Homo-oligomer: A and B are copies of this chain.
């Protein structure tokens, strides 16, 4: 069999942060808490719950601390949150986060558009946060690099820039690196090549891949990453999320489709798919809009349907065993 990879993967459910941050609907704090609690019961390795960003920048997540204080933290689940600056780090410490996630872009123009800083400025800020986070008690810091597989403004991104940035933050104490396909520009051979290069450059740093399904390739890219040894995947329930700077871009890889695919392949995801699908069923009500949920519509691949009633009449029972081709 040609398709090989690790027998076990870990999923970081990013829907509560990456998904809800761009929804237009106001999601009340108790509903967010219930969403995260329901996700906690699904068996995820990690949940990115919220973002300790300025409420002015992302009003949808202004209740970050209330949400963190309201959820039931399940042993074994790593609760993480996005942190953009030192003030955010302080708020994360107040909430006793298990881990935080820092972010900057691999491409200059996207970094300027998204973070309003040059990459140089963002990197300096990240190094400052890493330094503060690594003073006792140390708080593990993952760094997510956006636009690794392409920039919606610049096009191709230089893999050398990605390696150099990843190395800089790992040298400064980052506990992990996430390669983000922010606007769904990645394709399988590129994903495989980039994942191999980063793993070669930083062999002892856990590597996560963050995929979007903009051009239909999210699951193909996930397999490509997994074939190179990647075992950590970001995903959002229902495929929530997107990017405001990329018109037409659809959301994150859908968690349920990622889990379903790997489970079909016999890979342990630790996620309870029926429980997750029950959460997904509630998403349109949570975010107050309709959206496509293909796996929910179709069901598990082995969810069978009753045969048409006329079959029994047309094919009498004695014929039922006759059909060995």
Contact = CB atoms under 8 A, between A and B. Distances in A.
Nearest to A253: B216
Given A113-B311, A118-B323, A323-B120, A216 B294 contact: yes
Interface string A234-255: 0000000000011111100010
Nearest to A108: B323
Contacts of A264: 187, 189-190
B305 A247 contact: yes
A250 B325 contact: no
Contacts of A261: 187-188, 215-217, 220
Contacts of A106: 325
Q: Interface centre among A112, A164, A325, by most B CB within 10 Å? A: A325
Contact of A189 (B3, B305, B314): B3
Interface residues of A, number: 82
A30 interface: no
B1 A193 contact: yes
- Count identical subunits in the complex: 2
A192 B2 contact: yes
A313 B101 CA distance: 30
Interface of A: 1-3, 106, 108-109, 111-113, 116, 118-120, 123, 150-156, 161, 164-165, 168, 184-190, 192-193, 196, 213-220, 222-224, 227-228, 245-250, 254, 257, 260-261, 264-266, 292, 294-295, 297-299, 301-302, 304-308, 311, 314-315, 319, 322-325
5 contacts: A3-B188, A112-B323, A116-B314, A120-B324, A153-B305
Given A1-B192, A186-B301, A214-B294, 5 more contacts: A2-B224, A2-B227, A113-B311, A188-B265, A220-B222
